[in-house]
Amino acid sequence: MQIRRFIEGDEAALFRVRQSSIHQVASRDYTREQVDAWAPHDMDPALWRERVRKIDPFVVVDGGEIVGYADVQPNGYIDHFFVAGDHGGKGVGSLLMQRIHEEAAALGLTELSSDVSRTAQPFFLRHGFVVVEQRSPVRRGVVIPNALLRKSLVPSAVRLPAA
């Protein structure tokens, strides 16, 4: 597997990753109504292209196929974090999380945060995030529960030497 920055032309593959992640995996923790409101099949392709280009994600490629993507914004917010439905448990998420932490260090960030689905919360907790607040956002008139998670980061220049 390789990780790289998003390039124009990746948009359709990222949409497929997001859809499969939500419809195949998150559907274990959400109702059909919630999944369809969160990841509708009729999303406007122009709006999707604009959204993906704006977040400028990292992309994981395996055998020429995009199998995951995630971003971290300059303020430390992780907006998207998705692994293709058929690639769970293969290290894609860990590779993305490692790259997010590398980017956070390069940006000098002291904190990461994200609004995380019920499905992804155990993964984020294993990576040192803590639940700050349970939330109930509404999309297309449907409540889709998630939680605000945060992780404090210690800048490398401030780390104490090992004893």
Tens digit of each residue's pLDDT (9 = 90 or more) over 15-31: 999 999 999 999 999 99
CA distance readout (Å), 18 to 11, 14, 134? 11, 6, 22
In this model, does residue 162 exceed pLDDT 60?
no
pTM of the model: 0.91
Instruction: Note the CATH number of domain 2-152.
Output: 3.40.630.30
Six-digit token string for 140: 């297309």
DSSP class of 28? G
Among 42, 37, 47, 39, CA closest to 21: 39
Q: What is the average per-residue pLDDT within 68-74?
A: 98
Q: Where are the domains of the chain?
A: 2-152
Judged against a pLDDT cut of 80, whether residue 159 lies above it is answered with no
